[in-house]
Amino acid sequence: MSCFIFAVAIISFFALAGCSTEKDAFLNRNFHALTAKDNILYNGKNALRNGSEGLITSYTDDFWEVLPVERMEVVEEKALSGGAGNSDFERAEEKAVKAIQKHGMNIRGRERNPQMDEAYMLLGKSRYYNQRFIPAMEAFNYVLNKYPDSDKYIQARVWREKTNIRMESEELALENLKNLLRSVEFKDQEYADACAIMAQAYINMQHRDSAIQRLKIAANLTKKNEERGRYYYIIGQLYNDLEVRDSANMAFNKVIALKRKSPRTYMINAELQKMRNTEVADGEEREEREERLAFLGKMERNRENRPFLDKIYHYISEFHLQSDSLRLAEEYLNKSLRANEGDGKLKAMCYEQLAEMNFDRNEYKNAGAYYDSTLTQLKDDRRKIRAIQKKRDNLEDVIRYEDIVQVNDSILHLAALPESERKAYFEDYIKKLKEEDEKQREAEERAAENGTFDPFETPGSTGQQNNEGGKFYFYNQVTLGHGKTTFRKIWGDRELKDNWRLADKSVVSRQETAEKPEDVVAVAPDQRYDVNFYLDRLPTDEVVLDSLKTERDFANYQLGLIYKEKFKEYPLAIDKLETVLASEPEEKLVLPSKYHLFRLYEQVGSDKMAEAKNDIIKNHPGSRYAEILENPEAILAGEADDPETYFNSLYKKFETQEYEAVLQETERYIKTHSGEEIIPRMEMLRATSLGRLYGLEPYKEALNNIALNYPNDDVGKKAQKKLEETASLESDTFDTEEAGRWKLVFPLPKSNIVEVRELMENVAFFSLKYPYYKNLKVSRDVYDTDTVFVVVHGLKNGKEAKAYRELVNTDEECVIDTENHLILSPDYRTVQVHKNFDAYKNKKTTREP
């Protein structure tokens, strides 16, 4: 027992003696080195390894771009705000700091603990991975300055240059690494790491040839198959960028040869890239295509390739597209979308290709929907977003007008049928509706038996899952929201109670009813199968039917111009405009439709061109179009830069207040040039002239027409905004406050031009006579078609206004014997907006200062 106590005492003595970090003794050095290595640094390295493995597994490679050498996403905002906040790297940093603080033995300027270089390397790496690059640089520099003989010296140099590259100092990093490679003997893996880092710097600087050479060295020397596969794949990508397909395929072959030694994602993408690079030879086209199609089928059936089916399907679609198998190409694009598990770029590509296919088939509504889906997947590519948005905007009018044509045509067709045929039509529709409902009910029953019934699932959506928010229906907010909308669409607003299916769908809360559009008709389940329900809602009033026809004709006319001008789809444009003329449209559409058809016939070389020309000249003599066709050279010479020059000339008349002339000429131009690009601007000039001449109500009506007729044009949007702004002008009452600037108004007949001119000269002379009033301004403002105002502006207050008017009315030398009235500036605006000067004069006794 005494021996045991003695041994414990001896051990305790040596332990206490070795705890000091200030003694440079053998026992102290080894005690602190062993404690730091096997305890603190061991745990810190484990945390660093877990964190770095987590970075790799969570990182998603974008195979549509050149892969980065190192799988770590640097988010600039996180780097600037103090790091990414990864708990594993924070723990590793804490352990490194603890080892330095508790076991560092810096005695007389020299570190005696041989594990401290490991601690500082751990500190630098943890900060690097946590995206705190400047502190990481400090740690690596400390190792280089304090431990020049350390076995970690080369590693510290390499990591410092990695940090320089992350801080966008590629040239400095390359220079330092080149010097290092020339001066130090490396191990194979260290040399591979250094070359890989240099390759990343060259990639960042767009020096692809140099990057390829360094990656080849790194791929040959690295001991890690994952790195080798990645390096060869990047080499193939860089060769593709340089358009050296054979060399790229050699690199991809090396990736494929690694098979399971390297991650499968590299092999699959390498296979697909290799096939994209390999063109089918003309002489062996059929045999080669069959072999490739068989190989693709094998890839598709391989269970190991299930995570990559979206990319495989997309390439198969490209393969069929090259052979003009459009149906199969579209089918595989949809398969790719269904198999996609988060590759936004691939989704965007699929949606865009589907949009283009529908566009080429002239199915513009579907094309617009696919362009919308494309935009939802594009995030950072601003140039691409703008290009797609422009295409989508060009389809906006087409979709709107095609919908109008389709709906109105259907209504007019049904309204024109005999009653028996209308009834038969709806009976057939109800029959098909019942069959679809029965199929849906049977599918729901089967799904309920299998335990997969989703009460909110729309037909045709089976198999398409949204992984955001989990697979369980009520945990997925996106799917849940879609389900609620679908439920209301099918069943209406139902109260939560038993037998809810038997409730009356039309019964909704007062608040919900108030929020619903007036034209939305709630349909109860029993009404869906009632023929009379549909027949009763079919319009029969001739006024309504004429309105539908007019709207349809105008939509067809607009479509004809859009297909002609924007899309150059001349056969489609001809069909639309011929449809307009065949339907006996309003007179204003007849002549422009004929003229545009003549130009289209001329464009496609149709035999109808001469007939169309003769029709315009014979049946519309004296029109602008007839003049152009009879003497095109003279007309075009006389209207150089027309219609822009003509618009500018009208605008100058507007600025000189020739509102009546502007109204007459704009109305004429709009009637004879319907559908031209400048017409919305002409309409806005006309609306403003109406407001200046006739007041607020005609102005609002004209703005409303512009907003309705050109909702997607910039002028239409501007009209809608101005229409909303007119709400502040509705009041026609006059101010009760007398504070503010005043005007002196002289109303005169508009026809008496001489008197107006003389009055303006007299007022100007009067201001010169009295220097106090020299800053006053005089204007001639049109009030209406009969009256103009000569207005003196700039009277600062009521007292000054009254004194000025008294001088005007009593001055003997400069007699101005004309009726005049003082008016506050806000009241003058009200008078001009509402044209209620007579009302103001009746109240002016209470308004004068």
Reported as a single tens digit per residue, the pLDDT across 590-626 is 888 898 899 899 999 999 999 999 999 999 888 767 8
User: Is residue 777 a contact partner of residue 760, using CB atoms and an 8 Å limit?
Assistant: no
768 against 502, higher pLDDT = 768
555 against 115, higher pLDDT = 555
For 92-151, the three-class secondary structure string (H helix, E strand, C coil) is: HHHHHHHHHHHHCCEECCEECCCCHHHHHHHHHHHHHHCCCHHHHHHHHHHHHHHCCCCC
Q: What is the DSSP letter of 529?
A: G
pLDDT tens per residue, range 20-76? 555 554 455 555 455 555 567 777 778 888 888 888 777 888 888 999 998 887 776
Cis peptide before 643 (omega within 30 of 0): yes
pLDDT at residue 228 is higher than 60: yes
Instruction: Name which of 43-52, 202-211, 303-312, 313-322 the model is least confident about.
Output: 43-52
pLDDT at residue 465 is higher than 50: no
Q: How far apart are CA 35 and CA 29, in angstroms?
A: 10
747 against 817, higher pLDDT = 747
User: Is residue 745 a contact partner of residue 828, using CB atoms and an 8 Å limit?
Assistant: yes
Shared fold status for 542-638 and 650-729: yes
pLDDT at residue 764 is higher than 80: no
pLDDT at 819: 85
Rounded to the nearest integer, the mean pLDDT of the chain is 80
Alpha helix ranges (H) inside 530-608: 531-536, 542-565, 570-582, 587-604
| Alpha carbon separation from 671 to 639, 667, 682, 688, 705 (Å, rounded) | 18, 6, 11, 18, 15
Nearest to 113 by CA among 187, 235, 23, 196: 23
**Where residue 220 falls among pLDDT bands split at 50, 70, 90?**
very high
pLDDT at 95: 80
pLDDT at 264: 92
Mean pLDDT of 249-267: 92
| Alpha carbon separation from 193 to 172, 173, 507 (Å, rounded) | 17, 14, 72
pLDDT at residue 501 is higher than 80: no
Q: How far apart are CA 623 and CA 840, in angstroms?
A: 46
Sign of CA dihedral 742, 748, 752, 755: negative
pLDDT at 368: 87
| Alpha carbon separation from 616 to 288, 621, 667 (Å, rounded) | 59, 7, 21
pLDDT at 595: 87
**Where residue 574 falls among pLDDT bands split at 50, 70, 90?**
very high
200 against 672, higher pLDDT = 200
pLDDT at 623: 78
pLDDT at residue 712 is higher than 70: no
pLDDT at 769: 75
CATH architecture, domain defined by 742-847? 2-Layer Sandwich (3.30)
**Where residue 354 falls among pLDDT bands split at 50, 70, 90?**
very high
**Where residue 456 falls among pLDDT bands split at 50, 70, 90?**
very low
pLDDT tens per residue, range 123-155? 888 898 888 899 999 989 988 888 887 878 888
16 against 185, higher pLDDT = 185
Q: Which class in CATH covers the domain with range 650-729? A: mainly alpha
Indicate the domain borders of the chain: 1-167, 169-259, 542-638, 650-729, 742-847
Q: How far apart are CA 120 and CA 156, in angstroms?
A: 9
Dihedral, CA of residue 757, residue 763, residue 767 and residue 770, to nearest 10: 140
pLDDT at 452: 56
Query: What pTM value is reported for the model?
Result: 0.61
Q: How far apart are CA 373 and CA 367, in angstroms?
A: 10
Residues 6+ away with beta carbon under 8 Å from 219: 192, 227, 228, 231, 232, 235, 254
Q: Which fold has domain 169-259?
A: 1.25.40
Mean pLDDT of 692-718: 83
**Where residue 437 falls among pLDDT bands split at 50, 70, 90?**
confident
Mean pLDDT of 85-102: 78
Highest mean pLDDT among 19-23, 82-86, 100-104, 164-168: 164-168
Q: Which class in CATH covers the domain with range 542-638? A: mainly alpha
